[in-house]
Amino acid sequence: MDTDKTAKLSFEAALSRLESVVDAMEQGDVPLAELLAKYEEGSKLLKACEARLKDAEMKIEKLRKAKDGGTAFEPIESRRAE
């Protein structure tokens, strides 16, 4: 899975795919070349999940720090894992 496709996945879809990759790697009957490809895919998925979680955390902090006590929300531009 390339970086563009990984970046378009929802958090839940990326996490589910990451769990599938890890399960396949843990089974131990994967050829080395395929294992390396799965490791690379897993790394990209992990970065995508981490970026989405960080974005969510930043949005929550922004909501908490609203100066007027109301709910001021400004979208934060998402950082994509490369």
> What ranges make up the beta strands (E) of 4-50?
none
CATH architecture type of domain 3-64: Orthogonal Bundle (1.10)
Quote the tokens at residue 15.
């996490």
* Separation between Cα atoms, residue 21 and residue 6, nearest integer Å: 13
3-class secondary-structure state, position 66? coil
pLDDT digits (tens, 9 = 90+) for 11-70: 999 999 999 999 999 988 889 999 999 999 999 999 999 999 999 998 888 887 765 566
Write down the residue that tokens 């294992």 correspond to. Answer: 35
| DSSP of 39-50 | HHHHHHHHHHHH
pLDDT value at position 41?
A: 95
Q: Does the reported pTM lie above 0.85?
A: no
Q: Is 81 exposed, middle or buried (0-12, 13-18, 19+ CB in 10 A)?
A: middle
Q: Give the residue extent of every domain in the chain.
A: 3-64
